[in-house]
Amino acid sequence: MRLVKPASNFASGKIQAADRKLRFWGLRGGFLLALAAPLGLGIGLLDSGTGFAVGAVLAGSGFVLILIGVGYWLDAGNTRKGLEGEQSVASELSYLSDEFLLLNDVMLPGARGNIDHVLVRPTGVFVFETKNYSGKYVCYGDRWFLQGRRQK
């Protein structure tokens, strides 16, 4: 099998963006958490009520920022799982003979997503959308079902 394009820049880019957002928000949140105790205690020496409030606001804000970063990272979990599936399918397809031509992660102009795999051979062109789910997955037209429940 001749490989024209490896998998998958599209998914890797989404995962890297989520990792950057986790670092961005996590570092800022961690910084606020690190400031909470010293500033709260320092101001608390002058006025205990204000010191507690400053410490609580900084700690709460830091915690929220960290949660925002973790949220971005968790949202990319399905993309990570999908990338594993795409790489697994590409690996299995690599055992085909050289009469096959494989293109992975095909982006069409103006499209929001990608085509996971396009397999070309003399008898036709095959397009694959890879899903990395366990269970029974069924497609009726443009409607997808996992374990009998409709998916997005």
Structural domain boundaries, residue 94: 2-150
Among 145, 139, 130, 148, residue whose Cα is nearest residue 11: 130
Strands 124-128 and 137-140: unpaired
Measured CA to CA, the distance from residue 114 to residue 137 in angstroms comes to 20
Which tokens hold the place of 150? 């409709």
Does residue 143 contact residue 150 with C-beta atoms inside 8 Å? yes
- Tell me the per-residue pLDDT of 11-60, one tens digit each, with 9 for 90 and over: 888 899 999 999 999 999 999 999 999 999 999 899 988 999 999 999 99
Measured CA to CA, the distance from residue 87 to residue 102 in angstroms comes to 13
What total of structural domains would you count in the chain?
Answer: 1
Name the least confident of 4-8, 59-63, 113-117: 4-8
Measured CA to CA, the distance from residue 90 to residue 13 in angstroms comes to 18
Other beta carbons within 10 angstroms of residue 32's beta carbon come to: 20
Residue 8 has pLDDT above 70, yes or no: no
Does residue 87 contact residue 7 with C-beta atoms inside 8 Å? yes
Confidence grade of residue 7 (pLDDT, cut at 50, 70, 90)? low
High-pLDDT (> 90) share of the chain, %: 48
